Amino acid sequence: VRGTSKNIYVSNPAHGGGLHNYGLAVDVSILDEWGNPLPMGTEVDYLGQEAHITHEAKLVEQGKIMPEEWKNRLLLRRVMREGGFHTLSSEWWHFNLCSRETARLKYVLIE
């Protein structure tokens, strides 16, 4: 993705990579009681505006995600925030436990 518009979605390993490399980030979704993923508007790892959480109301207005999908995203964020995780604006599925700065100061990079 280097040199493309998708570059913003990938952490640069030369800069220590992302918080996944410290074991301090997770990519998650929600499953129903039968093990089926709830609809979220995109697949996990979708590289595009529809995955962003910053303008979801507009995405619903434009028909790019459905109201139920937005509701499911809000539920996921609420549960993860209650667990102490923080969001990443460009990926509805990505949650960090701390900042990159805190990770570098307190934890060891997993290689």
The catalytic position among 33, 82, 91, 101 is 91
Backbone CA torsion sign across 7, 8, 11, 15: positive
Q: Is 91 a catalytic residue?
A: yes
Backbone angles phi, psi at 87, to 5 degrees: -85, 165
The secondary structure element, H or E, covering residue 104 is helix 100-106
Q: What are the DSSP E strand ranges found in 10-108?
A: 25-27, 86-88, 91-96
SS3 call for 12: coil
Catalytic residues: 91
